[in-house]
């Protein structure tokens, strides 16, 4: 257990001290492009979504400008995420290589990059929300299907979205409900 604690460095991950959460299946693995950093996620995600908001686009600009960075966005300007409760995702390798980027000094949102190869790994918060948005492109194996596109009012000029998924101009109520329900489950230790 002692070793696990070192793999969950504050403030990147939530150290819940409950090993039970970490044995849930499926276990999904995400790695940076060079393999130096690895994340493991346990159990089903809260949601899989593509975000087009201004912050995600600015965040992608910031990361994609780093040397040899891996592309963060899809060709249509969206960034695909898999959202996990923060007690169900951990850095299993290379935590010391992670670095936080903020859009502004005062932002509570962090976009966390594997500095070995400048791959965007996940987005989290200094405080508040109980989830981690992991960059979907970094995962391997059979990925949970994408469920929705959000904040599409910010899509870049000239982009026509595919109509394969429900799209919302902002944050739809169904998404808020999923996030709240996951918070309740987490508080109840389920």
Reduced to 3 states, what is the DSSP secondary structure of residue 75? coil
> Taking the complex as a whole, how short is the minimal distance between the CB of residue 186 and Zn ion, in angstroms?
22
Instruction: Tell me the residue ranges of DSSP E strands in 139-182.
Output: 148-150
Binding mask 36-55 for Zn ion (x = CB under 5 A): x--------------x-x--
Residue closest to 22 by CA, chosen among 114, 68, 86, 70:
86
Dist. CA 116–CA 88, nearest whole Å: 24
Binding of Zn ion at residue 114 (CB under 5 A)? Answer: yes
Q: CA 40, 103, 130: angle at the middle one, nearest 5?
A: 40
> Taking the complex as a whole, how short is the minimal distance between the CB of residue 18 and Zn ion, in angstroms?
29
Stretch binding Zn ion (CB under 5 A), from 33-41, 101-109, 121-129, 156-164? 33-41
Reduced to 3 states, what is the DSSP secondary structure of residue 42? strand
Q: Which is nearer to Zn ion, 21 or 84 (CB)?
A: 84
Q: Find the binder of Zn ion among 7, 69, 116, 143 (CB under 5 A).
A: 116
| Residues near Zn ion, by CB under 5 A | 32, 34, 36, 51, 53, 56, 114, 116-117
């Amino acid at each position: 257990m002692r070793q696990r604690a070192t793999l969950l460095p504050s403030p990147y991950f939530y150290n819940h001290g409950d090993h039970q959460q970490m044995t849930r299946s499926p276990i999904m693995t995400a790695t940076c492009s060079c393999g130096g950093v690895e994340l493991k996620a346990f159990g089903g995600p809260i949601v899989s979504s593509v975000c087009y908001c201004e912050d995600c686009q600015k965040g992608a600009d910031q990361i994609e400008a780093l040397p040899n960075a891996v592309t963060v966005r899809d060709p249509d300007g969206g960034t695909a995420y898999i959202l996990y409760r923060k007690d169900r995702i951990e850095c299993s390798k290379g935590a010391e290589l992670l670095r936080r980027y903020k859009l502004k000094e005062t932002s509570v949102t962090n976009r966390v990059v594997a500095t070995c190869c400048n791959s965007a790994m996940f987005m989290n918060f200094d405080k508040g929300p109980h989830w981690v948005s992991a960059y979907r492109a970094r995962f391997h194996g059979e990925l949970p299907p994408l469920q929705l596109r959000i904040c599409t009012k910010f899509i870049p000029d000239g982009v026509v979205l595919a109509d394969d998924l429900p799209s919302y101009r902002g944050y739809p109520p169904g998404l808020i409900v999923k996030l709240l329900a996951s918070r309740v489950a987490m508080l109840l230790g389920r």
